[in-house]
Amino acid sequence: MLRTFLASAALLACALPARAQNSYTSTRDTLRFRETTKMQMTLTMPQGEIPMSMEQSARLSLVRLPGDSARAWFDSLTISGKGPQGEMKPETDSALKRTFRLGLDARGRVKNVSAPQWPASLTGVTDLSHQFDDFFLRLPAQPLKVGLAWSDTTALTDSTADRYSRWIRSADYNVLRDTTVDATPALVIGMKQKLGVTISAPIPGQQMRSDAQLHGEEDGYFVFAPKTGRLIGRRREGKLEGPVKASGAMGEMQMNQSIAYTSTMDSVK
């Protein structure tokens, strides 16, 4: 979800056997989630600061398929923002029901096999193609229990003819405590994650490019039900900052970008 915002800013109960303590369910049921992400961004330029904000609220569905694969789609989607040109609320209905094809293994590691072609109303506003890159808790090889700690690092690179991005995420997890959600036993799993982001892309509507190198951290937690293999919820907040260079025929301009964000996600029926 954060990657979705940054693409425009720089320009996620069928019971399994009790042994399923460290893997996601392989059920073919449709899993449904509600997610809201809010972002506050400041661009510091030679002329001063430019504040911007964006909020995305969505309901999403996902179905596991054979061979560590899945398909997913938006059931509802609302995007709103405020920036130098005023308020914006693009049309999103035509983005609904368009299918993502994903690689999704039993530990929650996602590969973006193919993303939909998004409507023109979202061009220059947001790129939804990487919605699921960091959606799920990445599980360890060991059975989950209170006190277990583990680390995980992922690196994702996306390159096309005119744009490039690379995300490195290094997360530390710790099973904090037991809990119960709607009579389902679950675990609360804390997360601290370091992020490194490189983005190079055209600036919409201008004959210029933006090159950003951002670093930051986020804190949060997941709620996961080991016996059913279901992700029940997620909360996180973080901050990224770093230099941005805008360049084109008229020369270069150096800026600094600071982004603070919060995200909430819950499974829904």
Q: What φ, ψ does residue 168 adopt, rounded to 5°?
A: -120, 120
pLDDT in tens, 60-87: 999 999 989 999 999 999 999 998 888 9
Find, among 266, 184, 268, the residue nearest to 222 by Cα: 266
Residue scoring higher pLDDT (22 or 208): 208
- Nearest alpha carbon to residue 99 among 126, 137, 68, 71: 71
Domain locations along the chain: 2-15+22-268
- Asked if residue 241 lies in contact with residue 197, where contact means CB atoms within 8 angstroms, the answer is no
- The rounded mean pLDDT for the chain is 90
Four-way CATH pick for 2-15+22-268: 2.30.230, 3.40.91, 3.30.70, 2.30.29: 2.30.230
Q: How confident is the model at residue 206 (pLDDT cuts 50, 70, 90)?
A: confident
Number of H helices, E strands in the chain: 1, 12
Least Cα distance to 266 among 53, 65, 60 occurs for 60
